[in-house]
Amino acid sequence: MKHKSEILRIKIEDQGGVRVFYLKLNKKYRVGHDISNDLTVYGEHVPQKHVLFEGNGRYFTLNVDDFMDGRISNEKSSLNIQDLIDYDLLKKKGKFFKIPVRPGKKGWVEIGQTRLEFNFNGRLDPSDDSIHYWNFYHRFLKGFTSDIPYKLAILLFIALGTLWSVKVYNAKPMPKKEFSLEK
């Protein structure tokens, strides 16, 4: 039997459909334009790389900016993230505001056209096959196996170009024809 672990459940809704990710307490969840992020998000104010959720050992920290819209709630109340920013109720580090997400809190954040719903229930007993943690290997494997026909066509063009350049490099020059002036 697996041990119980504290995880953050992140449900992502975008044009690609609905996906669910589970984040451990010692991990970070990155979003932005860069493909090395856990989630690639495009938008007008979206940065290249941004750590959205950051595990701190006992709880998570949600790092938000002015361009993000959202709501965070617990059993008793629900607060709009923009109101928390407007009334200076959040700690600010750099240009991002930090919201602690402790067990029992849930909410949602919109970044561009992507909506992320999160729920931190504290201890959760994951089943053996249902939870797949997001990591670099999974991201690399997904990127490696997507668009296979396109990647094969590019690989074919590279191979043909290499063969052609080797043939041209090793080709013997044509002998120069000497013209005789006597004729």
Q: Pull the structure tokens for residue 30.
A: 């990155």
Asked whether the whole model's pTM tops 0.95, one would answer no
In whole angstroms, what is the distance from residue 98 CA to residue 108 CA? Answer: 15
- Centre a 10 Å sphere on the Cβ of residue 54 and count the other Cβ atoms it contains: 18
What's the pLDDT at 108?
92
Residue 174 counted as domain residue: no
What's the pLDDT at 2?
44
Residue 84 counted as domain residue: yes
Residue 66 counted as domain residue: yes
Total domain count for the chain?
1
What's the pLDDT at 117?
93
Burial of 103 (0-12, 13-18, 19+ CB in 10 A): middle
In the sheet that holds 39-40, the strands lie side by side as: 39-40, 28-32, 50-55, 60-64, 96-101, 91-93
Residue 20 counted as domain residue: yes
φ, ψ at 23 (rounded to 5°): -115, 130
Tell how far CA 52 is from the center of its chain: 10
CATH number at residue 86: 2.60.200.20
Given a contact cutoff of 8 angstroms between Cβ atoms, the answer to whether 32 and 41 are in contact is: yes
- Look at residue 22 and give its three-state secondary structure: strand
Residue 45 counted as domain residue: yes
What's the pLDDT at 128?
45
DSSP 41-85: ---SS--SSEEEEEE-SSSEEEEE-TT-EEEEE-SS-EEEHHHHH
The range of the structural domain enclosing residue 68 comes to: 5-134
Alpha helix stretches (DSSP H) within the chain: 81-86, 136-145, 148-170
Residue 168 counted as domain residue: no
If the chain, 183 residues long, is cut into consecutive pieces of 10 residues, what is the mean pLDDT of each piece? 66 88 88 88 84 89 88 88 86 88 90 89 53 65 80 95 93 82 72
What's the pLDDT at 23?
87
In whole angstroms, what is the distance from residue 5 CA to residue 27 CA? Answer: 13
Residue 153 counted as domain residue: no
Q: Pull the structure tokens for residue 127.
A: 């089943």
What's the pLDDT at 136?
72
Residue 92 counted as domain residue: yes
